[in-house]
Amino acid sequence: MKLTLEKPVYGGDCLARADGGGKAIFVSLGLPGETVLAHVIEEKKSFAKAELDEILSSSPNRVEAWCWHFGSCGGCHLQHADYVTQLRMKEQVLREMLARAGVAIPAEIGVLAGEPWGYRNRIRLAVTGDGRIGYRGRRSHEVVPVVECPIAAPGLLKVAEAAREFLGSEIAPAAIVEIEIFGNADESRMLVTLFSADAPANEAEVWLERLRAVWPESVRGVRMVLSDGGLNPKTLASVGEGSISYETAGFGYQVEFGAFFQVNRWLVDGLVGLVTKGRSGGLAWDLFAGVGLFARRLAGTFERVVAAEVAPASLAALERNLAGVGGARAVESTTLDFLRRNREERQPRPDFVVLDPPRAGLGQETTTLLSAIHAPEMVYVSCDPATLARDLRALTTERYRVESVTLVDMFPQTFHIETVVGLARS
């Protein structure tokens, strides 16, 4: 069918209307204003999904994708748009989602962006039974073998290529289904995790030592874990170091195997500054604290900092990063349990709260407890505009107003949107 693409939607597609005003159709790999031929691949009662076949009228903002895997690989969604257009599309999506939820925001949305290529400090690749390594395909679970990935730090791909060659020549002691590679900003130190579908034989550590030997000296540690999808997967074998130091925002953060850390190596400093700059007082809370990225900086401007984290790997790193820092304390707790306990024990109210939840956001009970605490200022760091809009609606109904909104483009070439929202007590 012939369609005119109207606007971007969250997920990387563009919205069109059947017959100019009928059912909503979401078209992949298009740009607003383009006229295209497309065919429907999924039909629902209220909408349909379509694949682009031909561009009849091209947008002036369309560019040739840098990566030749683009379109088949599911990792990127926006390489066909110039970078200014990508930012404009993301701002439009963010503004519309907040408005639809009834959240009042300032007229201007700030933007923090950096180099849109080579930014990823962590990649996770699928491994097939015959030793091929790649990303999952767009609209499928098929593995697309990759020979390049221009959004990843180059050193990560070198390690992945060495792993591919090794797995093709060495019999693994267990079925390897995925490989994750994490490195610090300058790629001088890396950790590699192999996800196994079953428990290995006794020679796993010896095999890992041989594997480590084919990699650059920058690979400091390698482990094999059972692929169970949990927060603390069972380690089957490990060689080398269990953590690396990541220098950013003025500190050297210890990051353990499996610990959460921001993925964009170019923007970590800017993100920390955006969240913490100008904040000071008696007590600050860092909730969903991870390895203490924000807590460590806040400890320099607040008398006391309490950082709550429950994921075992992140908690171990958090405790190490706050060790010996006066007034800073790591607490093993989910954010919800921490807030419940605070309500029961009637502990002192914080002057400032940082919220950096996973994609699921805060949820109703957490927003209710936060509103009851009534801290003067909060900053919400979100990686999902849908759950952000839901949570801001709850927080701004009675207690808070949105003071600032900044789009932080942590994931160039993709549809993902990171947002930093400043909230002040009404």
Confidence of residue 200 (pLDDT cuts 50, 70, 90): confident
- Residue 344, pLDDT score: 87
pLDDT, one tens digit per residue, over 81-99 is 999 999 999 999 999 999 9
Confidence of residue 229 (pLDDT cuts 50, 70, 90): low
Q: Cβ(179)–Cβ(193) under 8 Å?
A: yes
Confidence of residue 39 (pLDDT cuts 50, 70, 90): very high
**Residue with tokens 């480590």, as numbered in its chain:** 212
pLDDT at 269 over 70: yes
- Residue 382, pLDDT score: 98
Tell me the CA distances in angstroms from 208 to 171, 193, 211, 212, 237, one per residue in order: 12, 11, 5, 6, 8
DSSP-based three-state secondary structure for 130:
coil
pLDDT at 20 over 80: no
Mean pLDDT, to the nearest integer, of 268-275?
Answer: 98
pLDDT, one tens digit per residue, over 306-365 is 999 999 999 999 999 999 999 999 999 999 999 999 988 888 899 999 999 999 999 999
pLDDT at 117 over 90: yes
**Amino acid of residue 170:** E
- Residue 231, pLDDT score: 64
Q: What is the DSSP code string of 370-405? A: HHHH--SEEEEEES-HHHHHHHHHHHHTTTEEEEEE
Pairing verdict, β 219-226 and 418-425: unpaired
pLDDT, one tens digit per residue, over 357-411 is 999 999 999 999 999 999 999 999 999 999 999 999 999 998 899 999 999 999 9
pLDDT, one tens digit per residue, over 41-59 is 999 989 999 999 999 999 9
Q: By mean pLDDT, which of 14-28, 93-107, 298-312 is the weakest?
A: 14-28
Q: Cβ(227)–Cβ(209) under 8 Å?
A: no
- Residue 232, pLDDT score: 73
- Residue 181, pLDDT score: 97
Q: What is the percent of the chain with per-residue pLDDT over 90, rounded to a whole number?
A: 84
C-alpha closest to that of 330 among 297, 285, 370: 285
pLDDT at 230 over 80: no
Q: Cβ(224)–Cβ(174) under 8 Å?
A: yes
**Residue with tokens 């065919």, as numbered in its chain:** 39
Alpha-carbon gap, residue 301 to 307, rounded angstroms = 15
Helix or strand holding residue 330 (H, E): strand 328-332
pTM score, two decimals?
A: 0.94
Task: Report the chain's mean pLDDT, rounded to a whole number.
Answer: 94
Structure tokens at 83: 């970078």
- Residue 302, pLDDT score: 98
C-alpha closest to that of 268 among 241, 242, 235, 291: 291
pLDDT at 38 over 90: yes
Domains and CATH numbers, the chain: 1-62 (2.40.50.140), 100-115+264-425 (3.40.50.150), 122-247 (2.40.50.1070)
Helices assigned H by DSSP within 18-137: 83-100
**Amino acid of residue 251:** F
Query: What burial letters (b/e) apply to 295-313, b meaning 16+ CB within 10 Å?
Result: bbbbbeebebbbbbbbbbb
Q: Cβ(240)–Cβ(302) under 8 Å?
A: no
Q: What are phi and psi of 2, to 5 degrees?
A: -90, 130
Which of the residues are catalytic? 383
Cβ neighbors of 20 (< 8 A, separation 6 or more) are 4
- Residue 345, pLDDT score: 84
Q: Cβ(400)–Cβ(391) under 8 Å?
A: no
Mean pLDDT, to the nearest integer, of 284-291?
Answer: 98
Pairing verdict, β 122-127 and 133-136: antiparallel
Angle at 145 between CA 141 and CA 146, to 5 degrees: 120
Mean pLDDT, to the nearest integer, of 142-146?
Answer: 90
Note every long-range contact of 297-302, with CB atoms under 8 Å and residues 24 or more positions apart, other chains counting: 297/249, 297/250, 297/251, 297/272, 298/352, 298/354, 299/325, 299/326, 299/327, 299/328, 301/276, 302/327, 302/351, 302/352
Mean pLDDT, to the nearest integer, of 67-94?
Answer: 96
Q: Cβ(281)–Cβ(229) under 8 Å?
A: no
